Structure formats: structure tokens, C-alpha cells
A and B are shown apart, each in its own frame.
Chain A
Amino acid sequence: MREAVIVAGARTPVGKAKKGTLANTRPDDLAALTVKETLKRANNYDGPIDDVIMGCAMPEAEQGMNMARNIAGLAGLPNDVPGITINRYCSSGLQSIAYAAERIMVGGSEAIIAGGAESMSLIPMGGHVIKPNLELVQNAPGYYMSMGHTAEEVAQRLVYLVKIKMNSLLVVTNVLRKHYKKVNLMTKSFQLR
């Protein structure tokens, strides 16, 4: 199986939710800027792109419909570049990168733009309209558990894991960080103009 590599990466600055300077900026506009910047960082790549994969946890309103395809258009990519928006909640962006890597490794694609976009100022947690399934709410409400509560659960259930394994996780993280620094792939945020 062939190897997939990350050629370039970028992210937007992070602001305070609802109060920061980016609170009223659309996530698709921000993501389009990021895509442009990434291509710039990849030696102004203008070759073919097989797909744009974007992760989004609450895909509605400003970040609704097929946002990945919209981002491709806003970033000025050719009209024939397809887009797919995926959702695995908080790990959506990471998952889109994993999917992109897998597509390339199996030979299905040559170059993919992958990442995630979310505005926590414009779209509230859970979305604007929440309509949960009664069956799950009554019998397995954990499916809808909010983030604070999930953190409590993790802390309670994995208290031993937290104590014993955190050190080893820390080592792994440090090694990864050094590696990324070395090959200059650290995804630096860029200046918004």
C-alpha cells in the first residue's frame, strides 16, 4: 500500500465564542480562506484536486447543506471539484483527514483537501432546533449527552486510566509534536486580512 503525506496545513485564529471579532463571520468563508492559504503553503499548488472533505458537528444554517462543496467554490477551486461533509461530532475534522489519507493509500485519489469547519458563535450546541428521538431519550439518553456531562462520565469511569496512562499519552504527544516541528508541518494559524 502506498503512503499518504500531509503536504500543507493551515487553520484560522481562534476567538472568543459569541464575543470575539470572528463571532459574526461565516464558517464557510473562514474555511475557504483556510483552503486558499493551505494551497499557497503547498508551493501554490494548482494541480487537480480529487475531493474536498470537511467535518462539521452541527451541519445546519450557515454551515448547513454540503458545506464542503460550498467551501470549494468559495475558495475558487474549479467547478468540477466535488465535496463531502462528514460528521463524527468533535472528531469530525480529524476523521475527514483520516478518510482522505485512506483514499490516497488505496489509490482512489491523488490529492485531497481535508479538514473541519465549525462556528460555535453562529450555531448553538445541538443546533438551532433539537428534535431528539423519544426512544433514545427514554432508554439511552447518553446518545444525546452534552459535552460537560460526557467529561464527567469519562472522569468517573476512567479515573484509573487517567492516572496511569496519562503520562504515557503525554510522551506520545511530545514525540509527535517534535516530529511535526521537524518537518515543518505544524499547522500554524495565518493572519486574516
Chain B
Amino acid sequence: MVLLRKNAGASLIDLGDNVALLEFHSQSNAIGLDTIQMINQSLEEVNKNYKGLVIGNQGKNFCVGANLGMMLMEAQDFNFPELDMVIRQFQQAMMNIKYNEKPVVAAPFGMTLGGGTEVCLPAHSVQASQETYMGLVEVGVGLIPGGGGNKEYYIQQLKGLPEGVDFDLQKVTNDVFEKIAMAKVSTSAAEAFENGLLDERTDSISVNGDHLIHDAKQKVLSLHNAGFNPPKREKVPVVGEAGYATMLLGAKGLANSGYASEYDLKIAEKLAFVLAGGRLKYGTLVDEQYLLDLEREAFLSLIGEAKTQQRMQHMLLKGKPLRN
């Protein structure tokens, strides 16, 4: 194993057989700007000299999400242009993974939360350890996923549906909305399949966690040998205004029943708007970038809220979510 590149957040390592490994090694493997930079540099390097990339590590957890401390500090300093830039880069890095010309395989294990899940969603294949706790948990800290997670999770559910068959788009959107709004986390890789975070056609499980990186590397090689092609850029159908109203009504019902606080409702409102694709006609086809812009706008507006900052601070200090 040869170390190819390194910064404070991540390293790029040669795994042999022309496969590279991107390893996170920041505190709790949280994603910061340095990690994002290393993702982009790794893809560049892999496209030039390697058959593909594994994203994995052998730390305590795969990745606990984005670097909350850094974002909270920027938000408290009202440094929103900087935050906008970070989120933009995070989204772009995830898009780079998705459309990379060489195969990218993520190898999650243990806690794979928020940003950690967002790294796995655009990867071409996921080789998950049996003990993988996956979920988009941003609502717990008063945010919504900011690295394209909303869009990718939604698209992943649409992919399973046969073409040309009439189906209710709203049910798919409602399902994704519910899972993100409730910050649902899988208790195993098998449950991550049930939750739709992993896809049976491309992803698989390693029962022995010690073999995880090896299995992921073999997957890169098999994708390469099968003549890998990155996915085509396709427009995404959204539920629009009527769907937004439906999700909002559901969230208000939960708040009415006392299952969600007033602030939970506010976050759910923003999430519903992003997933619905704004106030469009039902079934409108939109660009992925349009959905990313909506997501970024919602993320930035939430991080400026006092109650979101309280939730973030609580998570950093006490390690558990605050319900305010």
C-alpha cells in the first residue's frame, strides 16, 4: 500500500491491482472542506491512473456526517457566503462521484450518518458491512441533508420502478419525506436495503467486516472488467405544488397529534419543498442541479435559525439530539 496524497481530513492510498482507496481520517471521520477537496483530487487521480476507487476506512465508524462544529461556527459568525461555498462544493463533489468515468464503490460500516450516507448514495455500488447504521439524520440537528442526499435518496427509489408503468409519484416522495423527516436510521445493512438506502441490483453486504475493503476492491475490479459506464444524466420527475401540499398536510397532522414540535414542522416544511421540487406542476421533469439549488437554499435558511443552532450545539456538547 502506497500513500498517494494526504491532508488533515483524508488520504488517497494505492490498494494494488490498479485500485485506489479514499480513506477518511478526521475526528469521527466527519466531512469537512479538506475531505471534500480530497474526494475531488482522488477522482482526478483515479481517472488518470487507476481502474476505480474504493471509499472506505478502518476507523471506529465509516463517517458520522458533516463537520457540525465548523458549520456552527461559520453560522454564528454570520459567514453565510462561506457556508454557501462549502455546501456547493459538497454537492458538486457528490455529483462528481456519481458521474465519474471510473467506478466508485463505497464501503460503509458502523455509523454511516448524514453526510456519510450522502457519500454512499451517489457511489456506483456499495459494499456494506453487515453492521451498518445508515440514515439521513440531519433533521435531528435542525437541518436537512445538504450534500444532495434528498435528491439521491429520491432518485434511488424511482430507479426501482419499471419504465412506462403508471405509478403514483406522490407515494414515493411521501416515503422519502417520512424517512428523512423522522431521521430514520437502519439497524443493519439488511434494513438499509429495506429503507431504500441500498439497492439490491448494485449493492451487497460483507458479513465479515474485516473483508470489507477487499470485497469493495473486488467490486471495483468486476465493474471495471464488465466495461463500466457512468450513469446517464437524466431529468427527474417531481410532485410539485400539489405534492408539497400533501406532505405539508401530513406534517401538520403529526404536529397536531403532538408527534412533532413546532420547529420540527418548520424543518419538515423546508424538506417537503425541496423534495416536491418547489411550486411546479405534478410530474414536471427537472434538472438535478435545480434540486440541489433548492436543497442548498433550504439548508442555508435553516442553519441561520437560532433553534437549529441550539440543536447543533446540543449535539456537539452532549452527543444526542435536542427536541426544541
Query: Are B242 and A131 in contact (CB-based, < 8 A)?
Result: yes
A137 in the interface (beta carbon within 8 A): yes
Across the interface, which residues of A come within 8 angstroms of B248, CB to CB?
A: 134, 137-138
Query: Are B249 and A137 in contact (CB-based, < 8 A)?
Result: yes
Contact code string A114-148 (vs B, CB < 8 Å = 1, else 0) = 00000000000000011111100110010011101
A149 in the interface (beta carbon within 8 A): yes
Which of chain A's residues has its CB closest to B255's CB?
A: A141
Across the interface, which residues of A come within 8 angstroms of B51, CB to CB?
A: none
Query: Are A137 and B245 in contact (CB-based, < 8 A)?
Result: yes
Count how many pairs of residues, one from A and one from B, have CB atoms less than 8 Å apart in the complex: 36
Query: Are B168 and A134 in contact (CB-based, < 8 A)?
Result: no
Query: Are B257 and A134 in contact (CB-based, < 8 A)?
Result: no
Query: Are B253 and A149 in contact (CB-based, < 8 A)?
Result: yes
Interface SS majority for chain B? helix
Across the interface, which residues of B come within 8 angstroms of A145, CB to CB?
A: 256
Query: Are B252 and A141 in contact (CB-based, < 8 A)?
Result: yes
Query: Are B249 and A149 in contact (CB-based, < 8 A)?
Result: no
Query: Are A132 and B246 in contact (CB-based, < 8 A)?
Result: yes
Contact A134/B244 with A146-B253, A149-B253, A149-B257 known, Cβ cut-off 8 Å: yes
Give min CB distance, B268 to chain A, whole Å: 12
Number of interface residues of B (CB under 8 A): 16
Query: Are A129 and B245 in contact (CB-based, < 8 A)?
Result: no
Which of chain B's residues has its CB closest to A153's CB?
A: B256
Q: Which of A131, A141, A146 contacts B246 (CB 8 A)?
A: A131
Query: Are B257 and A130 in contact (CB-based, < 8 A)?
Result: no
Q: Which of B170, B244, B249, B282 contacts A144 (CB 8 A)?
A: B249
Which of chain A's residues has its CB closest to B269's CB?
A: A138
B241 in the interface (beta carbon within 8 A): yes
Residue among B168, B244, B252 with the most chain A CB within 10 A?
Answer: B252
Give min CB distance, B266 to chain A, whole Å: 13
Q: Which of A131, A146, A148, A149 contacts B245 (CB 8 A)?
A: A131
Complexed CA–CA distance, A146 and B282 (Å): 24
Across the interface, which residues of A come within 8 angstroms of B170, CB to CB?
A: 129-131
Across the interface, which residues of B come within 8 angstroms of A146, CB to CB?
A: 253
Give min CB distance, B275 to chain A, whole Å: 15
Residue among A132, A145, A146 with the most chain B CB within 10 A?
Answer: A132
Query: Are B257 and A141 in contact (CB-based, < 8 A)?
Result: no
List which A94-118 residues lie within 8 A (CB) of chain B: none
Query: Are B253 and A134 in contact (CB-based, < 8 A)?
Result: no
> Which A positions have Cβ atoms within 8 angstroms of B?
129-134, 137-138, 141, 144-146, 148-149
Q: Could you give 8 example pairs across A and B, Cβ below 8 Å?
A: A130-B170, A131-B282, A134-B244, A137-B245, A141-B249, A146-B253, A149-B253, A149-B256
